[in-house]
């Protein structure tokens, strides 16, 4: 078994240093502390990150927007909106976040490993091509997908967003292409206000955006059913060459922003199911890229269960996955609605 590839860099703490903010350096410290857990010893390998260049950022973002972020370098504090600020080192930290994704993907494409985990900040999935928002500056996962296509000639990439908030920026980046399949399960209505059932892509991309909008309070088995009954079969039909996961820890039951009820064991279950999907469709290639999550306890406890699954440290009871088949889709109306819409595009759902 190849070790899990991990980025570990303290420089991510230099974004919003000494600033009171929900998206703060303590989040990084929380997830990095998990890597020192005895159960993970010897099961992961560190990958050296690099900074993405402005030219690489332009694979998703407009040159004018990149320049606007670059001009904040050296400023003690700059606000793009009420939620999204920078401090003097934020531009380079955001470039490091993107470059970390690139570095890890390079190693996977060299065959060094099949799995990766990138604990980074600032998060990225809300960043639009021309706009910072939702704590995000550059769209780390969208840029990762573009990098795979441009630099490694990957034809089909699947992005799965398990953050409690819709990845509007990621959706925008690929809304009119079939080269990336974007699947997001998220609270709705909620920030950022996008991600409704009818948002399915347009032109060549119609059917390659799958949104699963959910009301408050959904827990472990609901998210597991989404993966088992929707995401897994669609992945079998699409046959991606790699799965990229926008991994938010704000589905956690005590997160202050998420409004969901997923337990640490639930995160283990979601990870296990995603790993099984990757094994079935893309030779196990899968990378988890950190997004939101604003409970430090949630980041530590859920992060540990995710990392244990990625490192093949079993923590789940067998009956946890068996329950999926017993209850099925009929009791889950939100999932039935999504399947009703998406079966127009995916034969496997009919």
- The catalytic residue positions are 126
| φ, ψ dihedrals at 122, nearest 5° | -70, 155
Spatial distance between the Cα atoms of 205 and 172, rounded to a whole number of angstroms: 11
Sign of CA dihedral 111, 112, 115, 119: negative
For the chain, what is the largest distance between any 2 Cα atoms, rounded to a whole number of angstroms?
Answer: 57
Residue with tokens 């899990």: 4
Structural tokens at position 97: 């976040």
Sign of CA dihedral 38, 163, 128, 160: positive
Pairing outcome for strands 209-214 and 242-247 = unpaired
Q: How far is CA 336 from CA 214, 254, 288, 289, 348, in A?
A: 12, 27, 27, 28, 14
């Amino acid at each position: 078994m190849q070790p899990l590839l991990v980025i570990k860099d303290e420089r991510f703490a230099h974004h919003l240093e000494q600033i009171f903010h929900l998206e703060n350096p303590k989040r990084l410290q929380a997830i990095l502390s998990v890597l020192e857990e005895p159960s993970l010893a010897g099961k992961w390998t560190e990958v050296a990150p690099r900074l993405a260049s402005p030219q690489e950022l332009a694979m998703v973002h407009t040159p004018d927007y990149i320049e606007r972020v670059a001009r904040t370098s050296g400023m003690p504090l700059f606000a793009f909106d009420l939620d999204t600020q920078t401090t003097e080192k934020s531009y380079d930290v955001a470039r490091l976040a993107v470059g970390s994704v690139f570095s890890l993907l390079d190693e996977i494409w060299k065959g060094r490993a099949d799995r990766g985990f990138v604990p980074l900040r600032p998060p990225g999935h809300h960043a639009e091509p021309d706009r910072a928002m939702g704590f995000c500056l550059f769209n780390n996962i969208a840029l990762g997908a573009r990098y795979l296509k441009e630099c490694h000639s990957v034809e089909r990439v699947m992005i799965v967003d398990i953050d409690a908030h819709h990845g509007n920026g990621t959706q925008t980046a690929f809304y009119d292409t079939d080269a990336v399949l974007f699947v997001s399960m998220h609270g709705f209505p909620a920030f950022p206000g996008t991600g409704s059932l009818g948002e399915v892509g347009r032109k060549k991309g119609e059917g390659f955006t799958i949104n699963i909008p959910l009301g408050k309070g959904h827990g472990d088995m609901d998210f597991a059913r989404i993966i088992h009954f929707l995401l897994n079969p669609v992945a079998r039909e699409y046959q991606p060459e790699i799965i990229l996961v926008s991994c938010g820890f704000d589905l956690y039951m005590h997160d202050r922003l998420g409004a969901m009820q997923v337990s640490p064991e639930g995160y283990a279950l979601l990870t296990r199911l995603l790993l099984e999907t990757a094994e079935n469709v893309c030779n196990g290639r899968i990378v988890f890229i950190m997004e939101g999550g604003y409970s430090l306890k949630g980041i530590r406890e859920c992060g540990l269960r995710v990392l244990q699954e990625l490192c093949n440290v079993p923590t789940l009871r067998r009956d946890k996955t068996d329950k999926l088949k017993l209850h099925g889709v009929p009791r889950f109306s939100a999932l039935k609605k999504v399947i009703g819409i998406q079966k127009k595009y995916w034969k496997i759902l009919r």
